[in-house]
Amino acid sequence: MDFNLTEELKMLKEMAYKFAVAEITPFSQECDEQEKYTPEIRKKAAENGLVGAWIPEEYGGAGAGILGNAIITEELSKVDMGIGLNVVAAGFGCESIFQYGSEEQKKTYLAPVCAGDKVSAGSFTEPNAGTDVAGYKTRAVKDGSDYVINGNKMFITNGTVCDFMVTQCITNPEEKKHNSFSLIIIPADAQGVTRNKLHGKMGIRASDTAEIALEDVRVPQSNLVGKEGHGFRELMHFFDTTRVMVSGQALGLSEACLETSVKYVKERTAFGAPLGSYQLTQMKLTEMAIRIEALRGLVYKAAWLIDQGTPDYTLAAMAKFYGGQTAVFCANYAVELHGGYGYIEEYPVQKWYRDAKILELYEGTKEAEIMTIGRALQAK
């Protein structure tokens, strides 16, 4: 057993962090305040191999694997989780194309995303069903050589900035719920697609989130990803990798909270001594540090297993669950340790506090992760 990162991964980690500090820090506050999406940063990141880094080189990626991608996500999220998401989720949805798509689909869709020329979205959640994945209603009906798609999608990351969306649709309503779904690629500019940006998010405000209406949207049947009727299972495998990515976000944000807090309590004094000299302060730092170490173990192991070809769906859910909890916990302590300064925009901890909460909501709520883990424990 070797817990050390390879030299390549160490270099990738360093490069990603340097990129984030140089290219993301100057825009962080502005993007948060103005809900601004930054294609320029995504493009620069792509030039540095940071977009779709998990995609193998033959399809245009950096071939960094899921572990490499988790490390990139961690480093960008130390600086700004929202802008970082625009980089690491620029290929959101492409996980399914890579896992289940035809050779032609992989060649068509993956390389332009990695190059920073195109953006994708994973379009699953609906206004009336999020956690209840089998409750989606969007319908794709065959007509000649096409599918005609009708339905509504909600909270879609990259919704108004994407070029195409991997979309969960019912294609086989006659089958039992779990066998009725399929993943279909919809070009964002197809006739009948209406996209509206959602405003007023609590955190990750640099990330684009949209509601999408699909009205008689016609796409060729060759846009089917994988097998008809297998969409539900394909989506569950999609979460193997994307939950690891989200837990990488949690890791980076938690680390930033700890580092910033350590620095602050060494400088700030109260009652004639640095805050860090008091045991109550040390307890907070200690609890943060232990959780971060445990989370790193979960994230890296879940990522590494995927790279070994032995993904562990339950472990990915554990990493995601624990990641959300750790990030919310660390951000809360970071604000507390900064006192009143933690509550004003001059210090980034208030932003991290707002950003952290999404980690317990998207890519499966914490309750959804509990259901996944709880079921898996009893299935053994």
Q: Please identify which of the residues 74, 360, 363, 369 carries the catalytic annotation.
A: 363
The burial class, CB within 10 Å (0-12 / 13-18 / 19+), for 245 is: buried
Neighbours of 274 (CB within 10 A): 14
Residue number, 11 or 370, with CB nearest to ligand FAD? 370
d(CA 214, CA 22): 39
Bridge pairing between strands 181-187 and 224-225: antiparallel
Q: Which residue, chain included where needed, has tokens 């990798």?
A: 241
Shortest spacing between CB 142 and ligand FAD, in angstroms = 24
Is 363 assigned a catalytic role? yes
Residue number, 112 or 159, with CB nearest to ligand FAD? 159
Residue number, 157 or 332, with CB nearest to ligand FAD? 157
HSE of 85, CA atoms in CB hemisphere, 13 A: 31
Residue number, 135 or 339, with CB nearest to ligand FAD? 135
Residue number, 131 or 196, with CB nearest to ligand FAD? 131
Q: Which residue, chain included where needed, has tokens 């009652």?
A: 271
Residue number, 157 or 314, with CB nearest to ligand FAD? 157
Shortest spacing between CB 62 and ligand FAD, in angstroms = 23
- Find the residue with minimal CB distance to ligand FAD: 130
d(CA 353, CA 203): 8
Shortest spacing between CB 263 and ligand FAD, in angstroms = 29
Neighbours of 332 (CB within 10 A): 18
Please name the helix (run of DSSP H) or strand (run of DSSP E) that holds residue 353, with its range, or none.
Answer: helix 349-356
HSE of 64, CA atoms in CB hemisphere, 13 A: 28
Residue number, 86 or 209, with CB nearest to ligand FAD? 209
231 phi/psi in degrees, rounded to 5: -60, -35
Q: Which residues, listed in sequence order, are joined to residue 194 by a DSSP beta bridge? A: 213
3-state SS string for 19-88: HHHHHHHHHHHHHHHHCCCCHHHHHHHHHCCCCCCCCCHHHCCCCCHHHHHHHHHHHHHHHCHHHHHHHH
Closest CA relative to residue 22, chosen from 62, 76, 71, 64: 76
Residue number, 49 or 91, with CB nearest to ligand FAD? 91
Binding site for ligand FAD (CB under 6 A): 92, 122-125, 130-132, 155-157, 201, 209, 358, 361-362, 365, 367-368
Shortest spacing between CB 192 and ligand FAD, in angstroms = 19
Shortest spacing between CB 166 and ligand FAD, in angstroms = 10
Q: Which residue, chain included where needed, has tokens 């509990």?
A: 370
d(CA 42, CA 148): 32
Shortest spacing between CB 131 and ligand FAD, in angstroms = 3
Q: Residue 340 is which amino acid?
A: G
d(CA 27, CA 283): 34
Shortest spacing between CB 207 and ligand FAD, in angstroms = 7
Collapsing DSSP to helix, strand or coil, 271 comes out as coil
How far lies 340's CA from each of 102, 129, 335, 346, in Å? Answer: 55, 39, 8, 11
Shortest spacing between CB 287 and ligand FAD, in angstroms = 25
Q: Which residues are catalytic?
A: 363
